[in-house]
Amino acid sequence: MKLVTEKRELSSRLLQFAAPVVSILIALFVAGFLLLAAGVNPLQAYLEIYQESLGSLYGLSETLVKTTPLIFASLGVSLAFRMQIWNIGAEGQIYLGACGATGVALFSGIESHGLMITAMFLAAFLCGGLWAGVAGILRARWRVNEVIVTLLMNYIAILGVDYLIYGPWKDPKGFNFPLTAQFSDAARLTEFFDTRFHSGFFLALLCALLMYLFMERTVWGYEIKVIGSNPEAARYAGMRTGLAIFAVLFLSGAVAGIAGFSEVAGLQHRLQHGISPGYGYTAIIIAWLARRSAIGVVIVSFLMGVLLVGGDSLQLSWQLPVAFAYAFQGLILFFLLASDFFIHNRLKLVRGERHA
Amino acid sequence: MTDLLQIKHIRKTFPGVVALDAISLSIAPGEIHTLLGENGAGKSTLMNVLTGLYRPDRGEILLDGAPVQFNSPRDSLALGIGMVHQHFMLVPAHTVFENILLALEDVPNLYSRRKYKQRVQKVLDEFKLDLDLDTPVWKLSIGAQQWIELIKLLVRDCRLLILDEPTAVLTPQESARLFQVLARLRDQGKSILFISHKMREVMEISDRVTVLKKGRSLVTLARGEYDENRLASLMIGEDQIPMWIKPACKYDQLALEIKNLSVRNDRGLADLDNFNMKLYRGQILGVAGVAGNGQKALAEVLTGLREASSGRILAEGKDITNSTAKSSYIAGIAHIPEDRKTIGIAPDMTVGDNLIMKNFASRAFRRWIFQDRAAIRRNAAAKIDQFAIKAGPDGNPVRYLSGGNIQNVIIARELSEKPAVLVALYPTRGLDIGSAEYVHKVVIDGANQGMSTILISEDLDELLKLSDEIVVMFRGRLVGCVDPQTTTREEIGLLMSGEVQA
């Protein structure tokens, strides 16, 4: 007897939906042993995660607050991935977006709320886009690997922002803390229900919808898909692949940059150190799990939001180390990715000998 | 003598498809056995069963009379069954020697380079093959790369060699050389399972021929029991092989003129060297030549994929020398590319999406910035019907289609805008008779409606059958121009070798 794998020619729709759910359940089951080992009742812990992230208005609002930047960054990353352009630099692009928005908020002197928010949005969009666009030009003109460029530019972006907040943009009344002055009311997004939940979330949903229409319905989306599927064929069909590489990286970075805008305008109301705790990297995982679909990105980002908030609450109520949250995320990712294999393959027991 | 390999009632199904229904055949030691069948007859599936990639649902494989089961290519290789695939499995950056070394199983971690080189060189000498072991593979012609694949099997002492359309990528001369080697191998007692579409080759080298049709082995015929017509009718079934009637070209209206055109490649060498050519409306101009003598450069420069370094291309008097592929297309040049899977299609996209790849931005398929999905679907349905594309279920990605059907998708797309000029680069390479005939029909129908065709091919039969005029390329130049009615294969062959100029 022997266990062999076999490719499923047709993967069923039911399986595609059921597999992620089952894999999350398995991950919870396995994580339960970790919790037991740490002396925590897993069922209580899960109830707590649910309570803290979904079970109350406050918890839900916190989850959505985390979901918002993840949606923006993941949409940007997915767009590039669709064309087989590997933008690993969403983190840096978020910082650039935050930086652009902050620049406008602090120094433009605009007083109208609508005008201010629009200007901040555009600045973030442009800064994120141009930052990623550098990698686009290098890739399109000289075939420089965009993975390396976007990745390394993250460090430049993060340290650049640090320079600003430790140096020229530091709040003179900030007791020497590395942060800028608070934004005026005109530069703040609307908050709801007396929580930190802000209108950036709705902007993210709108952005996902636009991205869906862009990719699935427009002529440009079609071009991106052709180039992603076979760049040689695209060139042969007369598409300008070089221009497309730049445009897609620009747009990808621009959308990731909006995450930075939404964080400073909606949440922090100032630029400070660590404005993004790795949203840009999580976005890569989200894009992958969501199979680069805009709608999938919204769902997976929400799930990640739950994990982030739930993980925090475990730390607070049981003094579990932060590593627990990471182990938790890791397990869920592991089983989700493994389920991918079972969607496309089946296991079979084979009787019989190998050779005569 | 017992048969080396016996295959009994093999059946293999995929969901919704019976790929192999009932295949039985036997291969004797020291014979060249040819498998003949249209695309989709089950040849590739059978090969994959024999090399252990697929496991049959039913049936038996006997080696030397004993049943065997292959669970992976490793198993079949261990039993001495080796295959030269259509797509080579070589590491381009490595040298010839390193690639061959990969095929050997018994190489110790610390090996004597000299000892193994001698071993490989011995095989080379035995078959009088002129290959430099230290050349990186990427520098070699496709023909030479195929030799490496074959040598890989020979150094392993395979008893059964499976060759999947080996001549599809070879020049007539290279093919002849291959046949000599195969004949020698047979005389040494090796068995060869040979797959080909080219009837003349089949006639030339086979000891026995097995015809496959719709997943069944129809009949096995020994030499002397078959002739070309018999095989063709068995393969295609009852249908007559149609002969197309071709209108005589009137040579009145110039469609395309190439003047002193030169194209240089990355290494600065001339792929096209002071090339001159005239193409008339409704003309089918055959271009013969050994692969790598500038045919590809000619096709690419005409379709805007490469730039000319000097010279001019005039389409109906208008200069289109250095335009992008798109504007060339607008000027009416369609292109059937050489390597249909690498550059002809976007494999993950649907047939409908692939059909509009060249004119996706035209008003017919978009409304403002949005694609008109309904129009794209309508177009797909019409083209699938008109060009007899077996497209499978709605939304099926093109990569699931067979080679012939992929070619039909490309042809449908290229011809949909009624082009003035068609540049077809090896358009029937690797296609079965039925699909190749279809391509011929399309070219001739086009000629009837005034389309001019540059037909670049290595199949002299095809060129002689279709062309109004055949030109021969050698080292990027035109070395001759012959009339297909009066010329001979020998004359074309001599021109191709560059030894004479007409």
Confidence tier at B72 by pLDDT (50, 70, 90): confident
pLDDT for residue B303 is more than 50: yes
Residue B270: strand pairing partners: B264
Confidence band, pLDDT 50/70/90 cuts, at residue A332: confident
User: Coil, strand or helix: which one is B18?
Assistant: strand
- Which of A9, A229, A232 lies at the smallest CB-CB distance from B349? A229
Question: Rounded mean pLDDT of A79-83?
Answer: 94
Query: Count of A–B CB contacts within 8 Å?
Result: 90
Q: How many CB atoms lie within 10 A of CB B122?
A: 10
Mean pLDDT value of segment B140-167: 86
How much is the average pLDDT of A236-247? 89
Q: Best mutation site among A5, A84, A222, A346 for testing chain B: the one with the most B CBs within 10 Å?
A: A222
Q: How far apart are CA B446 and CA B450, in angstroms?
A: 6
Residue A272 CB contacts under 8 Å (≥ 6 apart), including other chains: A165, A177, A178, A179, A180
Residue from the list B304, B335, B371 with its beta carbon closest to the beta carbon of A218: B371
The closest of B414, B420, B435 to B345, measured between CA atoms, is B414
Please indicate whether residue A21 or residue B61 has the higher confidence score (pLDDT).
Answer: B61
Q: pLDDT tens-digit profile of B219-259?
A: 888 888 887 777 777 776 654 444 556 667 778 888 888 99
Determine the pLDDT at residue A356: 35
The whole-angstrom separation of Cα B283 and Cα B352 is 31
Higher pLDDT, B103 or B189: B189
Q: Between B432 and B309, whose confidence is greater? A: B309
Higher-pLDDT residue of B21, A137: A137
Class of the CATH-defined domain A55-319: mainly alpha
**pLDDT at A353 > cutoff 50:** no
- What kind and span of H or E run contains B318? strand B318-319
Per-residue burial over B338-370, b = 16 or more CB atoms within 10 Å of its CB, e = otherwise: bebbebbbbbebbbbbbbbbbbbbeeebbeeee
Rounded to two decimals, the pTM is: 0.74
Q: What integer is the mean pLDDT of A122-145?
A: 96
Residue of B304 and B180 predicted with greater confidence: B180
Write down the pLDDT at residue B116. 84
Q: What is the mean pLDDT of residues A200-220?
A: 96
Position A354 scores a pLDDT of: 45
For the record, the structure tokens of A41 come out as 């009742």
Tokens of A188: 């703040």
Least confident range from A71-80, A260-269, B397-406: namely B397-406
Question: Is the pLDDT higher at B459 or at B295?
Answer: B295
What span, in angstroms and rounded, lies between the C-alpha atoms of B225 and B42?
23
Q: Which of B68, B71, B366 sits opposite A356 (nearest CB)?
A: B68
- DSSP string of B193-244? EEE---HHHHHHH-SEEEEEETTEEEEEEETTS--HHHHHHHHH-SPPPP--
Q: Residue B394 has what DSSP assignment?
A: T
Distance CA A164, CA A264 (A): 15
Mean pLDDT of B284-302: 85
In a mutagenesis test of the A interface, which of B307, B326, B343 is the best target, namely the one with the most A β-carbons within 10 Å?
Answer: B343
Dump the DSSP string for A23-84: HHHHHHHHHHHHHHHTT--HHHHHHHHHHHHTSSHHHHHHHHHHHHHHHHHHHHHHHHHHTT
The angle at the Cα of B414, spanning B409 to B416, to the nearest 5 degrees, equals 90
Top-confidence residue, A178 or A2: A178
Cβ A219–B342 below 8 Å, yes or no? no
Q: In what order do the strands lie in the sheet with B452-456?
A: B333-336, B421-425, B452-456, B284-288, B469-474, B477-482
* Chain B 259-318, residues with CB within 8 Å of chain A CB atoms: 303-305
Q: Write down the pLDDT at residue A297.
A: 94
Average pLDDT over residues A265-276: 92
Residue A197 and residue A61 in contact, taking contact as beta carbons nearer than 8 Å: yes
Beta partners for residue B397, in sequence order: B350
Among A187-191, B121-125, B165-169, B233-237, the range of highest mean pLDDT: A187-191
The whole-angstrom distance between A355's CA and the closest CA on chain B is 5
Residues in B closer than 8 angstroms to A238, CB to CB, are 304, 324-329, 358
Q: Which amino acid makes up residue A38?
A: A
Cα distance from A232 to chain B (closest Cα, Å)? 5
Q: Smallest Cα–Cα separation from B378: which of B410, B398, B347, B352? A: B352
Q: Do B366 and A219 touch (CB under 8 A)?
A: yes
Of B14, B325, B353, the CB nearest to A236: B325
Determine how β-strand B81-84 pairs with β-strand B318-319. Answer: unpaired
Beta-carbon contacts of B52 under 8 Å, excluding residues fewer than 6 positions away, are B70, B71, B72, B73, B74, B75, B76
Nearest-by-Cβ selection for B342 from A10, A219, A232: A232
% chain A with pLDDT above 90: 56
Spatial distance between the Cα atoms of B71 and B49, rounded to a whole number of angstroms? 9
B19 vs A262: which has the higher pLDDT? A262
What are the residues whose beta carbons fall under 8 Å from the beta carbon of B363, sequence distance 6 or more?
none
Kindly list the residues from chain B whose CB atom is less than 8 angstroms away from the CB atom of residue A234. Answer: 346, 357
Task: Tell me which residue has tokens 């198993």.
Answer: B75
Residue with the two structure tokens 């069909």 = A237
Could you give the CA distance from residue A298 to residue A203 in angstroms, rounded to a whole number?
12
What's the confidence (pLDDT) of residue B416?
81
Q: How far is B79 from chain A (nearest CA, A)?
A: 10
Assess contact for B155 and B110: CB atoms under 8 A. Answer: no
- Do B346 and A9 make contact, defined as CB atoms within 8 angstroms? no
User: CB A356 to CB B66 under 8 A?
Assistant: yes
Distance CA(B111)–CA(B116), nearest Å, equals 8
B14 in contact with A, Cβ within 8 Å: yes
Cα-flanking dihedrals φ and ψ of residue B375, to 5°?
Answer: -65, -35
H/E run at residue A327: helix A322-344
Q: Average pLDDT for residues B324-334, to the nearest whole number? A: 67
Tell me which H or E stretch contains B296: helix B295-302
3-state secondary structure of A308: helix
DSSP state of A184: P
The alpha carbon of residue B451 is apart from the nearest alpha carbon of chain A, in Å, by 20
CA dihedral A53, A56, A59, A64 (to 10 degrees): 90
Q: Residue A238 and residue B15: Cβ atoms within 8 Å? A: no
Rounded Cα distance between B393 and B379, Å, is 16
Upper half-sphere CA count for residue B15 (Cβ side, 13 Å): 8
Which residue of A lies nearest to B330 if distances are taken between CA atoms?
Answer: A238
Give tens-digit pLDDT for B258-268. 999 998 877 66
Domains present along chain B, CATH in parentheses: 5-236 (3.40.50.300), 242-332+418-502 (3.40.50.300), 342-416 (no CATH)
Instruction: Give the chain A residue nearest B329 (alpha carbons).
Output: A238
d(CA A136, nearest CA chain B) in Å: 21
For residue B55, count CB atoms less than 10 angstroms from its CB and return exposed for 0-12, middle for 13-18, buried for 19 or more.
middle
Q: What is the mean pLDDT of chain A?
A: 89
Taking alpha carbons only, the member of A354, A285, A174 closest to residue B78 is: A354
User: What are residue B7's DSSP bridge partners?
Assistant: B25, B61
pLDDT value for A68: 97
- Dump pLDDT digits (tens) for A287-296: 988 888 999 9
Residue of B34, B473, B373 whose CA lies nearest to B228: B34
Please give the span between the terminal C-alpha atoms of chain A, in angstroms, as a whole number.
15
- Provide, as residue numbers in chain B, all residues whose Cβ is less than 8 Å from the Cβ of A218: 369-371
User: pLDDT category, B308, cuts 50, 70, 90?
Assistant: confident
Q: Which residue of A has its CA nearest to B365?
A: A219
Of residues B500, B460, B465, B461, the one with CA closest to residue B480: B500
- For residues B95-113, give the mean pLDDT: 81
pLDDT at A355: 42
DSSP state of B169: G
Higher pLDDT, A238 or B91: B91
Check residues B466 and A354 and name the one with the higher pLDDT. Answer: B466
Reported confidence tier of residue A13, pLDDT bands at 50, 70, 90 = low
> What's the rounded Cα separation, in Å, for the pair A338 and A315?
28
pLDDT score recorded for residue B240: 47
Q: What is the pLDDT of residue A281?
A: 92
Q: Helix axis angle, A57-82 relative to A90-107, nearest 10°?
A: 120
Q: Indicate the domain borders of chain A.
A: 1-40+322-356, 55-319
B327 vs A238: CB contact, 8 Å cut-off? yes
Strand order in the sheet with B310-315: B270-280, B254-264, B310-315, B318-319
- Decide if A172 touches B, using CB distance below 8 A: no
B342 touches A: beta carbon within 8 Å? yes
Q: What percent of chain A has pLDDT over 70?
A: 94
Question: What are the chain A neighbours of B358 within 8 Å (beta carbons)?
Answer: 237-238
Find, among B272, B420, B263, B406, the residue nearest to B339 by Cα.
B406
Q: Tell me if A325 sits within 8 A of A307, measured CB to CB.
A: yes
Q: What percent of chain B has pLDDT over 70?
A: 92
Alpha helices in A108-193 (DSSP H): 113-142, 146-166
